[in-house]
Structure 1
Amino acid sequence: MNFFEQQDRAKRNTTWLVVLLVAAVASLIVVTTVVVVGVLFAFEEVAPAYVQIDSSGNVGMVQVLKLVDWPLIGGIALGIITVVVLGSLFKRLQLNSGGRAVAEALGGRLINVSTNDADEKRILNVVEEMAIASGTPVPPVYVLEDNAINAFAAGHSPQDAVIGITRGCIRLLNRSELQGVVAHEFSHIFHGDMRLNIRLVSMLHGILLIGLIGQMLVRSVRYRAIGRSRNSNDKSVFAMLGLGAAFMLIGYAGTFFGNIIKAAVSRQREFLADASAVQFTRDPSGIAGALRKIGGHAGGSQVEAVNAAEFSHMFFGQGVRTSLSSMMATHPPLPDRIRRLEPSWDGRFPVVQPPSPEQQQAADAPQANAQQGGAGLGGFAPLAAVAAIDAIGQPSAAHLQYAQQTLAALDDELRAAAHDSYSARGLIYGLLLHKDRNVRTEQLRLLEQNAAPEAYRALLRYAEKIDRLDERYRLPLIELALPALKELSASQYPVFKKNLGLLVRADGRVSLMEWALYRIIIHNLEDHAPPATNKQLKQCLPEAGLLLSLLAHAGQDDHEEAQAAYSAAAGTLSVRLPPLVARADASLTKLNQALATLSQLRPLQKPQLLKALARCVEHDGEITVAEAELFRAVADALDCPMPPLLSS
């Protein structure tokens, strides 16, 4: 099952969750109505008004049916729905900032990208490799000071995702095992699992709120009873006590069944993420070794954080103990997961000890060998764009090796600068400096007036190295700088964004290369709600035609060649596109508007468009770096994390 099928499946799973929530709320309304009427009847709050007792002293069926008071039922239904919806919305707002909110709720600490801690440097390096290899923005990494071996990915989208990892995981796993764990978490980022997980948390919180209201009612009875006579005949206190106990029972029962649904959904996603991690790293022993160490570690994978139970389905391993392990476990049993990865496993768990520096060096040695040499300095391979589309959400070991080689080939000083918020801004400014001396002079004047002095000095310090940078490394350098740029304050970011706009408009026009770099940076730094993906390609023909036209003109100087590229691309689609848009009419403003519409395509419609774009880019048999950057910028705008195009 590929990335787009997984996205479509995640969309359908969300729909089913909504259906199950509606069914759960309807059940709660029925049960609550019965309980409320029963309590009121028991304490004679409703019996005199609605029940007529016959001469034999029995309540007849007709009299019971008179208890069906529609205003009462309507009030109860409205109350239940209001509580669940408001509770869910409240939790959704709490988690609105994405993965950062989850990590902080679990007590995580953001790892400084300039850290000097050797273990933290190692995990940051692994995360950077995985991100560059998969085409996703490098996520911030949070550490949980916990001895358990566990990790999680959280967020609404790749743009606001974070990786969380326990201190035990960093300390006790070797590099290969860390790669397996991080690759597993990246699978959750690719396939829409994170968004589904956050929605599960929000929905269950709304149901749990009913139980919390019951607790409040029970507590209020104590205060209400103060000062009353022990012989008081006021039965309202007992009625409130009964209602409170009933609400507690109903709320916790709803949460119990909700947790069963959560566990069932999560278990299947864990098997998929394990398989995806193996495909990514081509090393089943890495993730299998991490799972074996969980089994052999005294602390296992059980996290001690206060809110661990609420987010238990997000962890790499079973994060909390469960009394009904088979039904409530959010993860499959360790032996089942290990045997799927290593069928010949003997069933024994190792004694877990931190690797010595020598062992760690030996584990990293193959990595160092793989990093020797330059990264993809030749031309792009034939059909590289189509191959990149097929690898969306399913990056291969070749992409991982490309990332390792790229990081090794990058200048050490530039790579370190990408980890500082001031220097990172200077690097981005440097990537947008114009080749024309007059334009560059004007750009530098604007930056000197508007940029933070530290960022401007960093630009001057690294400008010469940026000028010599192979253009293939522009995107990897941007990806490395994203975590530092995400740390910009609410006052710093608008200045940074304004300066980017000044740079790209300094010569009176915006080139496609400038647009692509600007688009990737802004799209990955700004919060934006994931679009509703419900459009068919046939509903977006003008937008698709404009996008393909602009790409055809970008790759071809001659109008006839551009027409040929456009026709070849249009021929791959099952729908008929409008004629080629003239170069003068294919503005970047219109392109931004078109991408906003095309991002709403259904998941299974997007690969058709991307393959048409690939056909357009590859039409002349050559893919330039500028075309590759534009191609990946468009895929990023469509929320399709495209791996780098490979040279072989």
Structure 2
Amino acid sequence: MDFFTAQDHARRKTGHLVVLLILAVVALIAVTTLAVAIALHFMNGGQSASHSNLSSQALSSQGMLSSLSIELVAGVAIAVLAVVVLGGLFKQRQLGRGGRAVAEALGGREINMNTRDADERRILNVVEEMAIASGTPVPSVYVMEEEGINAFAAGHQPSDAVIGITRGTIRNLTREELQGVVAHEFSHILHGDMRLNIRLVSVLHGILLIGMLGGMLLRSMRFRRMGGGKRDNSAVVILGLGAALMLIGYAGTFFGNLIKSAVSRQREYLADASAVQFTRNPQGIGNALVKVGAHSQGSYLQASQAAEFSHLYFSQGVRLGLNQMMATHPPIKDRIQRVMPDWDGRFEPSWPSPQAEDETPDSTDEKTRPGLGLGLGSESGVKTGVLAAVLTGASARTAITSIGQPDQRHLAQARATLEALPERLRTAAHEPYAARALMYGLLLSEDQAVREHQLEALQQIALPDVYRELTQLAPDMVKLDIQLRLPLVELALPALKSLSVEQAQHFRLCVERLISADGQVSLFEWTLHQLLLNNLTEQDSRSSHLKLSDVQHECQALLAVLAAAGQDDADEITAALKSAESELPFALHETGDVGDMQALSLVVERLRRLQPLHKPALLQAMARCIEHSGHIRPAEAELFRVMADILDCPMPPLLSDET
């Protein structure tokens, strides 16, 4: 299943989930109405008949049916809907911060990006490599102080995703095994599983509230006096109604968990296969699963809310006993045999000592080390270090086919990119003050007069500590290879996401002041601003329902900007648009001002709403446009990848023909 089909499948799964929810709520209304009717019949029977004939009257089907009415059904329906919907919305609001809310609910602690703990440093390195290789924003990493071997990815979308991992995982797994586990979790990020998983949590919580309401009724009886005479059977009725509601609610939760488990098991097989494709190393994830089976704690978590999020984990996180129907993951032996068919069936792994591996990749000879021959070129065409290769049209087309399906070449490219980044800048990207300074530095103009005007404006509003960091990092920023700008931004995202609301607002003000300092907005300034907005601000959740035919004007405007970024001659711009037109179901024509970045911002807001299966054609048209000249300029590559990010299509790094 390719990325766009998987994305559409996840969207349809959400629709199926809504249908199942409606059916579950209808069933809850019917059963709850019957329970209330019986309770009312008991109460009426207690007031109009003696205690001696109460039993026979209560059993009269005609008497019970007479308690039913349109008003009763409507009242119960409204009450049940209110409980389920409000309960789901309450849980959804609790999880509004995305993956961070899940990680904190499970007792996770965010790992400091500048940690000196060797185990934590190693997992951060692995996550950074995987993120840059897959084209997703670098997620924050949370560690749970649990001995079991487990992990999870959680969030509404890639921009708010986090990776959670237990102490037992980072302590007991080798680097290649960690790669396998993290690649598995990135598959859930890439294929839209996270959003579906969090919606499942909200839905099940709403249904569970019916049972919780019944429990509250039962507990309230402790404070009720049981007197009132022989004919007052209201206490018995309330007890019965409370027990019925508990049974109804927990039965609904039971069947909801069955649905959750069935959905989750199939996605786990896909994630295992994706991890093998990503790393090209079945032993990585396979041996990690063997260690889960051999570990004394397995993959079990002790957190009080572990069961609520059981379908998010790398492996089964809660003990099931004999109730295997509730398993959210396939049997571990089946998973191992799928990725390692020659496995002998024995759980006999070798356990590393804490110092068994260095926190960085193996320092093999540069000639044989993967990734060091890969790279990109600078704006001027001058080759710079290991990132010295030319991007061609094939680079863009390969990147599109690799969306959601990165492989070892992209992982090697990511490693080479991280190694090419100056150590000082890479360290700065991990610290909130310095990360802001880096973003300001990327926005400084090459024109000396404009640069001085920007610095003067920034000094008036920026925090003194951040401005000081900027002046200290400026020499390294000036020498930064242009192809390293985007990876540097991606590395800085976790630190920028940790800003408070007030800090984030001030950061945005400074960014906008720098961009507007010279009275115009360059394409790179717009691209960087859009990338920061897309990943640091909450995006609305309007559905993706538009078709390409609905956004002809928007496609025209975007492709015109892209054509102008790669060609200087008007005839060549027209030819680039003609090339892009071959991938679209409508014609493109000459456009007006391609420098209106404000208008372009409105354009991309509409393009966000494209249906998943309509996105490939637009991306292919963009690829045709930027490949027209025979090579891809850095500005084109950056805009191409940022637009893919905005369209919720994480694009791996563009590879040169030398890879």
Q: Same fold (TM over 0.5)?
A: yes
Evaluate the alpha carbon distance shift between residue 506 and residue 46 of structure 1 in structure 2; reply closer, same or farther with a 3 A threshold. farther
Query: Pick from 614, 627, 634: which aligns with 2:623?
Result: 614
Deviation at 1:591, TM superposition (A): 1.1
Contact 1:157 1:530 in 2 (8 A): no
2:603 aligned with 1:594: yes
1:304-356 Cα shifts (integer Å, max 9, x gaps): 11100000000000000114443100000000000000111100002563435
What's 1:202 paired with? 202
1:382-410 Cα shifts (integer Å, max 9, x gaps): 41111111111111110000011111111
What's 1:603 paired with? 612
Contact 1:536 1:602 in 2 (8 A): yes
2:570 aligned with 1:556: no
Secondary structure in 2 matching 1:528 = coil
What's 2:190 paired with? 190
Contact 2:287 2:349 in 1 (8 A): no
* Stretch of structure 1 that moved more, 81-90 or 529-538: 529-538
What's 1:632 paired with? 641
2:635 aligned with 1:623: no
Evaluate the alpha carbon distance shift between residue 550 and residue 208 of structure 1 in structure 2; reply closer, same or farther with a 3 A threshold. same
1:518-549 Cα shifts (integer Å, max 9, x gaps): 21122111111343111111111111111111
Deviation at 1:42, TM superposition (A): 3.4
What's 1:344 paired with? 342
What's 1:24 paired with? 24
What amino acid does structure 2 have at the position aligned with 1:195? R
* Stretch of structure 1 that moved more, 625-634 or 372-381: 372-381
* Stretch of structure 1 that moved more, 400-409 or 545-554: 545-554
CA distance in 2, matches of 1:319, 1:57: 50
Deviation at 1:464, TM superposition (A): 1.1
What's 1:270 paired with? 268
Contact 1:297 1:351 in 2 (8 A): no
2:450 aligned with 1:439: yes
Contact 1:293 1:349 in 2 (8 A): yes
Evaluate the alpha carbon distance shift between residue 366 and residue 15 of structure 1 in structure 2; reply closer, same or farther with a 3 A threshold. farther
What amino acid does structure 2 have at the position aligned with 1:576? F
CA distance in 1, matches of 2:278, 2:537: 28
1:344-380 Cα shifts (integer Å, max 9, x gaps): 1100002563435245589845698336565432111
What's 2:6 paired with? 6
What's 1:283 paired with? 281
Evaluate the alpha carbon distance shift between residue 244 and residue 547 of structure 1 in structure 2; reply closer, same or farther with a 3 A threshold. same
CA distance in 2, matches of 1:58, 1:91: 39
After superposition, residues 373-452 of structure 1 pair within 5 angstroms as 374-452=385-463
Deviation at 1:59, TM superposition (A): 8.2
CA distance in 2, matches of 1:47, 1:601: 62
1:548-606 Cα shifts (integer Å, max 9, x gaps): 11111221111111111111101221x21352212x25521111111111110110000
Secondary structure in 1 matching 2:307 = coil
CA distance in 2, matches of 1:625, 1:295: 47
Deviation at 1:635, TM superposition (A): 1.0
Equivalent pairs counted in the alignment come to 639
What's 1:101 paired with? 101
CA distance in 2, matches of 1:327, 1:394: 31
CA distance in 1, matches of 2:261, 2:413: 37
Contact 2:134 2:403 in 1 (8 A): yes
After superposition, residues 80-479 of structure 1 pair within 5 angstroms as 80-225=80-225, 228-229=226-227, 233-350=231-348, 353-358=351-356, 364-365=362-363, 369-370=369-370, 372=372, 374-479=385-490
CA RMSD of aligned residues (A): 2.1
What's 1:536 paired with? 547
After superposition, residues 45-56 of structure 1 pair within 5 angstroms as 45=45
CA distance in 2, matches of 1:201, 1:61: 39
What's 2:381 paired with? none
CA distance in 1, matches of 2:640, 2:453: 30
Evaluate the alpha carbon distance shift between residue 375 and residue 646 of structure 1 in structure 2; reply closer, same or farther with a 3 A threshold. farther
* Stretch of structure 1 that moved more, 163-172 or 374-383: 374-383
What amino acid does structure 2 have at the position aligned with 1:406? T
Contact 1:40 1:46 in 2 (8 A): no
Evaluate the alpha carbon distance shift between residue 88 and residue 358 of structure 1 in structure 2; reply closer, same or farther with a 3 A threshold. closer
**Could you tell me the TM-score, scaled by structure 2's length?**
0.93
CA distance in 1, matches of 2:556, 2:45: 69
2:563 aligned with 1:565: no
Secondary structure in 2 matching 1:357 = coil
Evaluate the alpha carbon distance shift between residue 495 and residue 343 of structure 1 in structure 2; reply closer, same or farther with a 3 A threshold. same
What amino acid does structure 2 have at the position aligned with 1:268? Q
1:428-459 Cα shifts (integer Å, max 9, x gaps): 11111111110010111111111111111111
Evaluate the alpha carbon distance shift between residue 366 and residue 192 of structure 1 in structure 2; reply closer, same or farther with a 3 A threshold. farther
* Stretch of structure 1 that moved more, 63-72 or 134-143: 63-72
CA distance in 2, matches of 1:645, 1:443: 32
**Could you tell me the TM-score, scaled by structure 1's length?**
0.95
What amino acid does structure 2 have at the position aligned with 1:609? L
What amino acid does structure 2 have at the position aligned with 1:642? M
CA distance in 1, matches of 2:343, 2:158: 35
What amino acid does structure 1 have at the position aligned with 2:616? P
What amino acid does structure 2 have at the position aligned with 1:620? S
Deviation at 1:233, TM superposition (A): 4.0
Evaluate the alpha carbon distance shift between residue 57 and residue 188 of structure 1 in structure 2; reply closer, same or farther with a 3 A threshold. closer
CA distance in 2, matches of 1:310, 1:35: 28
1:598-648 Cα shifts (integer Å, max 9, x gaps): 110110000010100110010111101111001111111111111111113
CA distance in 1, matches of 2:570, 2:100: 48
Secondary structure in 1 matching 2:44 = coil
What amino acid does structure 1 have at the position aligned with 2:221? V
CA distance in 2, matches of 1:283, 1:292: 15
Secondary structure in 2 matching 1:311 = helix
Runs of at least 5 residues in structure 1 that lack an aligned partner in the other structure: none
Contact 1:185 1:273 in 2 (8 A): yes
Identity of aligned residues (%): 54
2:514 aligned with 1:503: yes
Evaluate the alpha carbon distance shift between residue 229 and residue 521 of structure 1 in structure 2; reply closer, same or farther with a 3 A threshold. closer
* Stretch of structure 1 that moved more, 558-567 or 36-45: 36-45
What amino acid does structure 1 have at the position aligned with 2:485? R
Secondary structure in 1 matching 2:620 = helix
CA distance in 2, matches of 1:60, 1:139: 62
CA distance in 1, matches of 2:212, 2:24: 17
Evaluate the alpha carbon distance shift between residue 367 and residue 346 of structure 1 in structure 2; reply closer, same or farther with a 3 A threshold. farther
What's 2:650 paired with? 641
What amino acid does structure 2 have at the position aligned with 1:144? M
What amino acid does structure 2 have at the position aligned with 1:495? H
CA distance in 2, matches of 1:613, 1:237: 70
